[in-house]
Amino acid sequence: MTLEILTADSLAPVRHGFFTRKGGASSGVFAGLNCGTGSTDQTEIVAINRQRVAKAMGVSVDHLVGVHQVHSADAVHVDGPLAHKPEADALVTATPGVALTVLTADCQPVLFSDPEAGVIGAAHAGWKGAQAGILEATIDAMEALGAARARIHAVIGPSISQRAYEVGPEFFDIFLTEDMENTRFFAGGDGDRMHFDLPGYGLSRLRAAGVASAEWTRHCTYFDADRFYSYRRTVHAKDPDYGRLISAIVL
């Protein structure tokens, strides 16, 4: 099966893609393009999937560079393959041929580009990382390499949508403590439950940071099981594990 790669015009001409689960070699609950080395999928099958992604991105598989994601606000500069993955949630580079990658399964994968400066970035932004400042940290790290935030284009890929993201009052309180205006990212649910707009929150922070443009591809990971992995859907289905989607960008 052919790989399905979602792209955004605003990131052109830089090569990039939000890969769906289509076109992979995994089976069972991982069926498709599972690129999660931390999953319980067969190691050799995940390696095949990653090789397919590398080929699509025009790089060798060792130049698919990622980090050990920990829901932090840490962004790292890379200029080649990493011997050991640092704990961080974003990567930036000005080096051609290095494909920056993030893995997600409901959290926001965010790709960044300043084509004029020749600087790119990729971030994994769940609610914790987004609130901690991972998006702003990525922009700052890109600027340290010569980018200008007024030229940076940012695109949020497939993520869990508001209607699928039910949360409790303690979650709501965390965001109100940060800023009372965050109430706009919540919609009423049953009883004391609410629905949180993660992509809306991410877009708000990106735009407040002063980037040239910020958009969401408007693909929901939860409600499209044929195309996307979803941690929350896996929990609700009581499946033993879940696959990870990969998003990548390369100069």
Query: For residue 191, is it within any domain?
Result: no
pLDDT (average), residues 164-170: 96
pLDDT of residue 59: 98
How many whole angstroms separate alpha carbon 178 and alpha carbon 174?
7
The lowest-confidence range among 14-28, 88-102, 113-127, 178-192 is: 178-192
Residue 43 belongs to a domain:
yes
- Whose CA is closest to 122, among 42, 184, 67, 62? 67
**What digits encode the pLDDT tens for the residues 16-31?**
999 999 999 999 999 9
CATH number at 41 reads 3.60.140.10
Quote the pLDDT of residue 246. 98
pTM above 0.95, yes or no: yes
Q: Decide if 188 is inside a domain.
A: no
**In this predicted structure, what is the pLDDT of residue 190?**
85
In a domain, 170, yes or no: no
75, exposed or middle or buried, with CB in 10 Å at 0-12, 13-18, 19+? Answer: buried
pLDDT at 238: 96
Tens of pLDDT, residue by residue over 26-53, are: 999 999 999 999 899 999 999 999 999 9
Q: Quick check: is 242 in a domain? A: yes
- 141 within a domain of the structure (yes/no): yes
- Structure confidence at residue 210 as a pLDDT band (50, 70, 90): very high
Domain that holds residue 243: 5-161+197-250
Q: What's the total number of domains in the chain?
A: 1
**Residue 131: what pLDDT?**
97
Question: Average pLDDT, stretch 245-250?
Answer: 98
In a domain, 131, yes or no: yes
Look up tokens 């800023």; give the residue. Answer: 179
Q: What's the confidence (pLDDT) of residue 235?
A: 96
Whether residue 89 is contained in a domain is answered as: yes
Distance, CA of 96 to CA of 43 (rounded, Å): 28
Q: How confident is the model at residue 189 (pLDDT cuts 50, 70, 90)?
A: confident
Look at residue 1 and tell me whether its pLDDT is greater than 80: no
Pairwise CA distance, residues 61 & 250, whole Å: 13
**Predicted local distance difference test score (pLDDT) of residue 188:** 85
Q: DSSP secondary-structure letter at 96?
A: T
| Residue 180 pLDDT level (bands cut at 50, 70, 90) | very high
Q: pLDDT digits over 107-134, tens only?
A: 999 999 999 999 999 999 999 999 999 9
Per-residue pLDDT of 223-240, as tens digits, reads 999 999 999 999 999 999
What number is the average pLDDT over the span 83-91?
Answer: 96
- 37: Cβ contacts below 8 Å, ≥ 6 apart: 43, 46, 50
